[in-house]
Structure formats: structure tokens, C-alpha cells
A = this chain, B = another copy of it.
Amino acid sequence: MNKIDTTLVPEPTLRRMPCYLTYLKLAQQNGAKVVSSTQIGHDMGVDPTQVTKDLSYTCIVGKTRVGYEVELLISELETFLRFNTMDCGYLFGAGSLGTALLLDHGLTQFGFEIVAAFDVNPDKIGLNIGGTTIYHTNDFKRVKHDDVKIGILTVPVEHAQEVADIMVDNGIEAIWNFTSVRIKVPDSVFVQNTSIYAHLAVIFNRLHS
């Protein structure tokens, strides 16, 4: 394990943090001012020791036998997760799932905005879906801004690698891969695989076994 890895926040921690945030916001709505890691753990079904460890990655420290100040912890988590600043990204593949993401307003609440979308279907080029214009994938180089580093991949699986290559060649540094194929990218590029359909496999198995 190299030095960089040891300083990275573990992925499971990062995935739990938005859940803590949601939990804390609900607690705040219900009037809570202070909450302990024991309470958070109990309510969320997470080991309280894990809760303390996860939250220690932010700058905030809970008080012994008291807990965390809810308002402060919410603010710290939002800053830590960068949910209170807007990151921009491009979407590749305005098909069924891509269109769904363009129409979903949830992303902006978590600090993410799709600023342009790309597709190769002539019927889609020039359309505006949910406020986002669809361009031809060939125009990516011309349309792109250098400060946008995130690309969402929702193309058909047979084009996933080819489109990932186009993204990487043009400066995308993080790919959110919604397809069910694994893509190959240079080490400097981060890939987050989010195949929601893969979760169906777990549901079907658990339901019928």
C-alpha cells in the first residue's frame, strides 16, 4: 500500500456519509440539537464505533457523554462532501437512463449539475432535455470547458469503452459509469461504477432463495 492510499478516505465511509447527513437533517427537523454516535448507529443500523470513525474524517469531534452538535455536524459534512458547492459534469448517452438522469433534479441537491449532454443519434442532437442541450459526441472537443472534469457514461454497453476513451482523451478525470461493463482507463482517471441493474440481481436472489 502506498502513501496516497493511506490518506484516502475509504469508499464505504464516503458512501455512508451522505446517509449520516440525511439522518442529521431529519433529526434537526425533529428538533434535535445534539446527537451521539450511539444514537446514530442505533437508528441507522451501523456500529457506533464505525460511526465515530467515519465522522472523524471531518474536522468535527463529538463531546464525551454528550455527542455532536447537529447543526455544526451538518455543515461540516456538507463542506467535507462538497455538497454545498456545485460541481459540473457532462453526460454521454441520452438514451433511456441518460434522459432519466437529465430529468432528475436530485443531483443538483447534492452539488452536481449536468451542463451538457452528448449522443450520436441524429434525432436527439439539438434537443433540450430538462434544461440541458444534447450535442453530437463528435462535438465534445469543441463544446467542452476545461474546468469540467466529470463525465457520466450512459451509452449502450458496446460503445462504453470507445466513449470512455473520448472522455479521457479530452481531459475528463472522473467517470461515473452507469453501464454494466467495466471500462479501462489510465491510473490517473477515477471510475465510479454505479450499475443500478446489478442490484436487481441481489433482490431477485434474496427474494427467491
Contact = CB atoms under 8 A, between A and B. Distances in A.
Interface of A: 7-9, 11, 14-19, 21-23, 25-26, 29, 43-46, 81-83, 87, 96-97, 99-101, 103-107, 109-112, 149-150, 157-158, 173-174, 176, 179-182, 184, 190, 192, 194-209
A208 B190 CA distance: 11
Given A19-B180, A96-B106, A158 B82 contact: no
Nearest to A7: B209
- How many copies of the shown chain assemble into the complex? 2
Contacts of A176: 199-200, 203
A182 B46 CA distance: 10
Contacts of A203: 150, 174, 176, 190, 192
B23 A208 contact: no
Contacts of A16: 198
B107 A181 contact: no
Contacts of A201: 14-15, 17-18, 81, 83, 110
Contacts of A195: 15, 18-19
15 contacts: A15-B195, A15-B199, A15-B201, A15-B202, A18-B197, A19-B182, A23-B182, A26-B157, A82-B204, A83-B200, A96-B106, A110-B201, A150-B203, A190-B206, A190-B207
